[in-house]
Structure 1
Amino acid sequence: MTGDRAGDGTAILVEGASDRAAVLTAADLLGVDLAGDGVQVVPMGGAMSVRRFVAELGPQGAGLRLRGLCDAGEVRFFERAGLPDDAVFVCRPDLEAELLAALGHERTAAVLEAEGDLRLFRTFQQQPAQRERTLDQQLHRFLGTTSGRKEHYGAVLASALPADELPAPLREVVQAPN
């Protein structure tokens, strides 16, 4: 827990490590010192765990103020856990798609090239299961194919954007009042 006493701080609940990496990168780009502001970013290992984290960290637990970042398909878990609508920031359909859309295909390819993964991605595109998919679907799937890649690219894709081009849910969850 951040802060000196129970209730002193905020927790941003995110689904996983890639979301945490993107939030921390966005905070840096936006000039927001989350730790200095008493904000911790907590990966839950999936949205279905949100109720447990709300109980442990929220008003009935550690007393932290809570907000969350989630995929559109996971909003119901945050609602059932009791987070108010204005505390939940929703990525449509998910954070990776938001980042890829904000970057566009050319800048995403440039990021893959800079990371040394463009040739690997081009090989991936030629696999029979990928040939019929759109470029957006291929990129999205590629990010999740290797352990750690999704987390790595959560930070790398976010850092490739100017602060004013960060997807709205990512920008807003970082800049929400504590």
Structure 2
Amino acid sequence: MDTASPDEMARLRQAVVACAADGPDGAAAARVATVLAAELRLRVVVLVEGESDRAAVEALAHRRGRDLATEAVCVVPIGGATSIRRFLAVVGPGGLDVGLAGLVDRAELRFFRRALEDVGVGLAGFFVCDADLEDELIRALDVSGVESVVAAEGELGKLRTFEHQPAQRHRPQADRLHRFLGTHSGRKAQYARALVQALPLDRVPRPLDDLLTYVGPRLEE
């Protein structure tokens, strides 16, 4: 197979997640992941903490005219930093043994560092967000830019209501925006994608920019 489609890469991602979960279907998922990785000539797995990080990475790649699936790059959300070891067992040395990269929140860096060092890989290719990707995007767009995105998503009224909650009234607006973006399931991914779409391409957060550069065509054999 010369190139992978997004649907095929999604199947691979699902198999990796199922295998890392180590449930009753883990062995079958491992076989599927192994076969698909070979068929799709998987080059790099990008490990990110959640779906919002995946949404941001894929949205920026799309804006730059890149198709990560055809580049044999699979972005996999691991469901939190403490799961990193289980995913490394699937895709790292001893597993699929492909190139590794990722994004990590500064507070979670210790989990990634120890796990990567223990499998003999190290942090090369893993880029640190301060404090997390939402913070990076809010700083890149600034408060007014983020509010414009919220308005475009039809949720400015909800934001204003949220801001007047007693727990939010005296917090800095950037902090309130950060909290608002994560107030219900799916909103973080929704806004990660929308904020990246609104970013001037000369203001892309450094960790996100460095990650996409790292997994770019220069790594291809």
Normalising by the residue count of structure 1, what TM-score does the alignment of the two structures yield?
0.94
Provide Cα deviations, 1:7-34, integer angstroms capped at 9, x if missing partner: 7411000000000000101111222221
Separation of aligned partners in 2, 1:6 and 1:116: 39
2:41 touches 2:72 (CA, 8 Å); kept in 1?
Answer: no
Separation of aligned partners in 1, 2:41 and 2:82: 24
Give the residue type in structure 1 aligned to 2:55: A
1:115 aligns with 2:149: no
Work out which of the residue numbers 174, 177, 190 in structure 2 matches 1:152: 190
**C-alpha deviation, 1:98, in angstroms:** 0.2
Separation of aligned partners in 2, 1:8 and 1:93: 30
Two-structure CA RMSD over aligned residues (Å): 1.6
Which residue in 1 is equivalent to 2:108?
Answer: 74
Q: In 2 relative to 1, CA 6–53 (structure 1 residues): closer, same or farther, beyond 3 Å? A: farther
Separation of aligned partners in 2, 1:163 and 1:108: 15
Which residue in 1 is equivalent to 2:143?
Answer: 105
Work out which of the residue numbers 114, 124, 128 in structure 2 matches 1:90: 128
Identity of aligned pairs, percent?
A: 47
2:53 touches 2:133 (CA, 8 Å); kept in 1?
Answer: yes
SS in 2 for 1:90: strand
Provide Cα deviations, 1:73-107, integer angstroms capped at 9, x if missing partner: 11111111114222210000100000000001111
Work out which of the residue numbers 167, 171, 180 in structure 2 matches 1:129: 167
1:51 aligns with 2:85: yes
Normalising by the residue count of structure 2, what TM-score does the alignment of the two structures yield?
0.76
Which residue in 1 is equivalent to 2:54?
Answer: 20
Which residue in 2 is equivalent to 1:175?
Answer: 213
Note the residue ranges of structure 1 that are not aligned, 5 or more in a row. Answer: none
Separation of aligned partners in 1, 2:86 and 2:138: 31
1:6 touches 1:63 (CA, 8 Å); kept in 2?
Answer: no
Note the residue ranges of structure 2 that are not aligned, 5 or more in a row. Answer: 1-11, 13-35
**Relative contact order (alpha carbons < 8 A, sep ≥ 6): 1 or 2 greater?**
1
SS in 2 for 1:102: helix
Provide Cα deviations, 1:125-159, integer angstroms capped at 9, x if missing partner: 00001011110110000011111101100111111
Larger radius of gyration: 2
**C-alpha deviation, 1:55, in angstroms:** 1.2
**C-alpha deviation, 1:163, in angstroms:** 2.2
1:10 touches 1:40 (CA, 8 Å); kept in 2?
Answer: yes
Which residue in 1 is equivalent to 2:45?
Answer: 11
